[in-house]
Structure 1
Amino acid sequence: MGPKERVLNVLSDNPVDKTPVTSFTQVGIVEAMQKVGAPWPEAHSDPNKMATLGASLYKLIGLEAIRVPFCLTVEAEAIGCKVDMGKIDRQPSIRAHAFESPSEVRIDPGWLDRGRVPVVLKAIELLKEEGLDAPLIVGITGPFTLSGHLIGTEKLVRSIKVEPQNIEKLLDTVVEANISYCAKIAEAGADIITVNEPTASPDLLNPLDFKYLVKPRLQTLANSIKIKKVLHICGSALPIVGDMAACGYDAISIEDKVDITKAKEAISKSVGKPSFPRMTFGGPVKVKIAGNVSTAKTLFMGKPEEVKAEALQALKAGVDFLAPACGLAPPTPLANVRAMVEARDEFFAR
């Protein structure tokens, strides 16, 4: 069984020969950039370099993922935010927000033709044409996080209590932009879309606000996506894991702060049974869990044997996808990511 079939089978709740070792989050690391000649920041704006870097960890070490882009600023920039494009070892970041207040936000349909959106779509097409035997995964910025980019995350969170109706309208506007972008991504040839919602984490947002404000928009987005889909939320997400699982995604991606066993228990309690019907394409599917080898500590700063030990722990806990807990830090040693792949192979060779 090849990597692409393996990953897609798990997302479809079909049998596989072994747990996939993949990444639904960003995969650009400096060592790989240098080996394949596709460094940041050029790889953020050049479709050929984006495609090359996106496939680098699959080609170099067998990570079962081709993943683009490498930041969460593509949509915000196209809508009007000013972006600092970063350096070879630093991701792009928002330099200036596009709007002053929630009520000012307007997103015209032409945004999909601006900025780096066409770059991402072209990179997807190039990778699709190459026909590699690995899933083509494309990350987008979720509605809450993108709303924060547009007006400022602190202002967004504060405005939930001050002007809730305007925040509701803002999120509805942004999720429509998400839906349009996801349709373009699917049309270009992606296999999987990862919806990244880092600022919807309980570390920043009250779990009740997630449940009643963010969750309905994530469900709307999930129901619109016609290909496989994964929801990633950073931080100590255990209080919202049950709600994440009920959003309609084929898998949820969680950080090392969340215990896999406790996450499974929370999902079971939330949905009432292991498999439950969802108003989305493909019928009833069991929600899978991806994770959760520490990116900030083990993969970034640890030794290969420490990576293997943590990966083994996740596999023993029954994770459905062995994966980094979050996006890889650019200075992450290639040997450490390779160790994660080797840990999976050694586990199933026993």
Structure 2
Amino acid sequence: MNVKNNVLKVLSGEESDITPVISVTQVAVVEAMEKTNAFWPEAHTNAEKMATLGSSLYELAGLESARIPFCLTVEAEAMGCKVNLGGEDRTPQIAETPFRNASDIEVPDDFLSRGRIPVVLEAVEILKEKYGDTLPIVVGITGPFTLAGHLLGVENLVRYMKIRPSEIETAIDNSLDACMDYAEAISEVGPDIICVAEPTAAPELIDPLQFKSIVKPRLEDLANVIKTKKVLHICGSTQPIIRDMASIGYDGISIEEKVDIKTAKQDLGKGGKVIRVGGKTMNMGGETSSKIVGNISTTQTLFRSSPEEVKAEVKQALEDGIDILAPSCGLAPRSPITNIKAMVEARNEFFGI
């Protein structure tokens, strides 16, 4: 089986003999760093190390994708924020932002040559040269709403949405310009999938009506400039917005374990015909034809549980009709490789291979 073709077939809405098992979110774990000698924080700034670590779970556990980078601070840094790159088991965080007001946000003329953007683009090219015909290459980017939150502070963003809504929409639009420039640059170097992460748009943080009126139109604009397959990831209990997520124009929507797969499939089935093929529920089209990606728990199952417990959760997700198996969010850096192997083994056992 060519794992790249299999993933792309599913995202294209074609029937597949086996459900892919990939990650569209953060994949670096400390055990893999030790085995490949590609450690954080160096792998955030060195393209060779980034590519090595981003493909490490394919090499060590059979995960059917490579995925880079390992955080959501690349764009904010290029916009002018100071970033603490963290350590071996700590992801980068925004340390300081120069933006005090929404009106301050502007995309620098040299945005695409700043910070780690050139490193990410080079790492894609390295991965393409090594795996281009066999392994799907996934690049994660930050959504415009989340980027605006990084630039202004999430608390300020949510508060200003209530008291200065027009000003905030301008800030999000300016952030969108940066996201679109970055997405176009990534598309040009030719990965297979771009995953747009919008964790700040979770229903726990903003009202679903605000998602529909403010976030959704910008995500549609961003989808229109992405020339690869594209997946939208939003954290949390996204059931209230799942039909909106699926109708934006992304080939897949990535969900956490808080979302019930069967209910989500039923909701999305209202926009297209759903049939049962080879033990899998397949959405055959319609306005909500996005494939569901996820939702094996990263905070509990893949991080803390036994391989047997991982396998049980994976097989239940397959029974429920998940389209593409994946961690529910970014892997915790101390997650054991044996649990990632267990994901792949459980999928194989389910399909009898």
Same fold (TM over 0.5): yes
Q: Which secondary structure does the structure 2 equivalent of 1:296 belong to? A: coil
Q: Decide whether the 8 Å contact of 1:222 with 1:248 is kept in 2.
A: yes
For residues 170-319 of structure 1, the aligned pairs below 5 Å read 170-269=171-270, 271=271, 275-276=285-286, 286-319=289-322
For residues 38-117 of structure 1, the aligned pairs below 5 Å read 38-117=38-117
What CA distance in whole angstroms lies between the structure 1 residues aligned with 2:201 and 2:265? 20
Tell me the number of residue pairs that the alignment of Structure 1 and Structure 2 aligns: 342
Pairwise CA distance, 1:106:
1.1
Q: Which secondary structure does the structure 2 equivalent of 1:295 belong to? A: coil
Q: Aligned partner of 2:87: which letter? A: K
What CA distance in whole angstroms lies between the structure 2 residues aligned with 1:105 and 1:184? 21
Q: Decide whether the 8 Å contact of 2:75 with 2:147 is kept in 1.
A: yes
Give deviations 1:304-338, integer Å, cap 9, x for gaps.
Answer: 00000000010000000011000100000000011
Q: Which secondary structure does the structure 1 equivalent of 2:299 belong to? A: helix
For residues 20-39 of structure 1, the aligned pairs below 5 Å read 20-39=20-39
For residues 151-162 of structure 1, the aligned pairs below 5 Å read 151-162=152-163
What CA distance in whole angstroms lies between the structure 2 residues aligned with 1:163 and 1:266? 34
Give deviations 1:52-73, integer Å, cap 9, x for gaps.
Answer: 0011011111101100000000
Give deviations 1:189-225, integer Å, cap 9, x for gaps.
Answer: 2111000001100011111110100000001111111
What CA distance in whole angstroms lies between the structure 2 residues aligned with 1:82 and 1:51? 24
Q: Decide whether the 8 Å contact of 1:24 with 1:323 is kept in 2.
A: yes
Q: Decide whether the 8 Å contact of 1:79 with 1:98 is kept in 2.
A: no
Give deviations 1:117-141, integer Å, cap 9, x for gaps.
Answer: 0000000011111135110000000
Q: Which moved more, 1:126-135 or 1:1-10?
A: 126-135
What CA distance in whole angstroms lies between the structure 1 residues aligned with 2:216 and 2:348? 36
Name stretches of at least 5 consecutive residues in structure 2 with no aligned partner.
274-282
Name stretches of at least 5 consecutive residues in structure 1 with no aligned partner.
278-284
Q: Which secondary structure does the structure 2 equivalent of 1:123 belong to? A: helix
Q: Which moved more, 1:22-31 or 1:9-18?
A: 9-18
Give deviations 1:66-111, integer Å, cap 9, x for gaps.
Answer: 0000000000011111111001001001111230111111112311
Pairwise CA distance, 1:272:
6.2
Q: Aligned partner of 1:161: which letter? A: K
Partner of 1:346: 349
For residues 145-156 of structure 1, the aligned pairs below 5 Å read 145-156=146-157
What CA distance in whole angstroms lies between the structure 2 residues aligned with 1:267 and 1:150? 34
Q: Which secondary structure does the structure 1 equivalent of 2:179 belong to? A: helix
Partner of 1:282: none
Segments ≥4 residues shifted beyond 4 Å: none
Pairwise CA distance, 1:169:
1.1
Pairwise CA distance, 1:262:
1.1
Q: Decide whether the 8 Å contact of 2:190 with 2:228 is kept in 1.
A: no
Q: Aligned partner of 1:74: which letter? A: V
Distance 1:272 1:319, change over 3 A: closer
Q: Decide whether the 8 Å contact of 2:247 with 2:289 is kept in 1.
A: no
Alpha-carbon RMSD across the aligned residues, in angstroms, is 1.2
